[in-house]
Amino acid sequence: MTIKTGLIGYGLGGAVFHAPLIQASPSLSLAAIATSREVPHGIDKIADPQALIADPGIELVVISTPNATHFPLALASLEAGKHVVIDKPFTATADQADRLIAVARERDLRLVPFHNRRWDGDFLTVRDLVASARLGEILLCEMHWDRFRLDLRPGWKDEAAEGTGLLYDLGSHLVDQALRLFGPPDAVSGDLAVQRPGAAVDDYFALTLHYASRRVILTASTVAAEPRPRFALHGTGGSFVKPGLDPQEEQLKAGLRPGDRGYGAESSRLHGVVTMPDGGRERIATRPGRYVDFYDGVAAAIAEGAPVPVAPEDARLGLEIIGAARESAAGGRVVDLRGLKARD
């Protein structure tokens, strides 16, 4: 038996990421999509998200809608007895996350943030490299996510609303990846800017996560015609520098699907390089990306009681760090997070 799944929202996130990945998981069945857009043949189109939530046959609700709607739609779904996947950012605030986590726990439901970038091939490669200790003690890690997009996008993403802006958009992923690699930081300092003419929300950010003597720098820009390296790690045993972005998003946009030949594979020209202190260099092949592992993990959590692939508490911690970074940027100071770590 497959888990009957309903998707709310069929924009970029729903059409490019969620629908194809749900359909690629043998344990899930995409039964309905709540949207005003056209949907694939054989899937029910529902105009009202609340009608999808109320459908007694739907077991799992996936939310890929404007960020301000994540919390109310997720709460309604949980209260209707559904398991829930929420696209990033999980919610707009840590308080909203707390409420959802409490309801899911009370009702014994799976609540899963869609932090798919844990399954980027470049991140999987970096994670393995850090775990191997080949670079020694990592003292500086830089993670960049650059674009060149001067024009403002129509729709909600570039509008001033709860949970919008580049820090919530791409920062949610970068913070989550940093936490996977190094755990919670001691402190954070942040710099946000609105750089494009007419922009209403931050379109540049730079965060520094403080870990004793280690620094982890997370940055994103929308005006970088020449992107900086996606990853640059420097340790006592050497450095690793990696350009380019994981190819899965572009492959999914082009119609390639998990299981198709070449899916998740990166061009060798984008493979990263380890440089040793003696000048020796080695190119490191990038692991294939595996977004489908997320939904396979969701299905296993629902059907078998396995741990969820991304814990909601992880996303909540990320929201706390984003909130502290915004506080830092507004006040021009470093924000101590050690009390936050003690609470967690």
Give me the mean pLDDT over the 227-254 stretch.
97
* Residue 154's pLDDT band (cuts 50, 70, 90): confident
Q: Which residue has the higher pLDDT, 157 or 176?
A: 176
Q: Inform me whether the pLDDT recorded for 23 exceeds 60.
A: yes
**Measured distance CA(113)–CA(68) in Å, rounded:** 15
Give me the mean pLDDT over the 84-99 stretch.
96
pTM: 0.95
**Measured distance CA(188)–CA(114) in Å, rounded:** 24
Q: How far is CA 213 from CA 185, 210, 233, 274, in A?
A: 11, 7, 14, 22
For the chain, give the mean pLDDT.
96
Q: Are 32 and 87 in contact (CB under 8 A)?
A: no
Q: What integer pLDDT is reported at residue 344 of this predicted model?
A: 47
Q: How far is CA 52 from CA 18, 61, 68, 200, 268, in A?
A: 16, 8, 19, 33, 44
Question: Closest Cα to residue 124, out of 275, 322, 272, 276?
Answer: 272
Tokens of 293: 């592992």
**Measured distance CA(221)–CA(146) in Å, rounded:** 5
* pLDDT tens sequence across 262-306: 999 999 999 999 999 999 999 999 999 999 999 999 999 999 999
Residues with Cβ < 8 Å from 266, sequence gap 6 or more?
A: 121, 122, 244, 246, 247, 286, 288, 289
Residues with Cβ < 8 Å from 19, sequence gap 6 or more?
A: 7, 10, 30, 33, 40
**Measured distance CA(305)–CA(295) in Å, rounded:** 14
* pLDDT tens sequence across 37-61: 999 999 999 999 999 999 999 999 9
Residues with Cβ < 8 Å from 317, sequence gap 6 or more?
A: 179, 184, 340, 344
Share of the chain above pLDDT 90, in %: 94
Pick from 87-96, 117-126, 158-167, 326-335: least confident: 158-167
Q: What integer pLDDT is reported at residue 159 of this predicted model?
A: 84
* pLDDT tens sequence across 7-22: 999 999 999 999 999 9
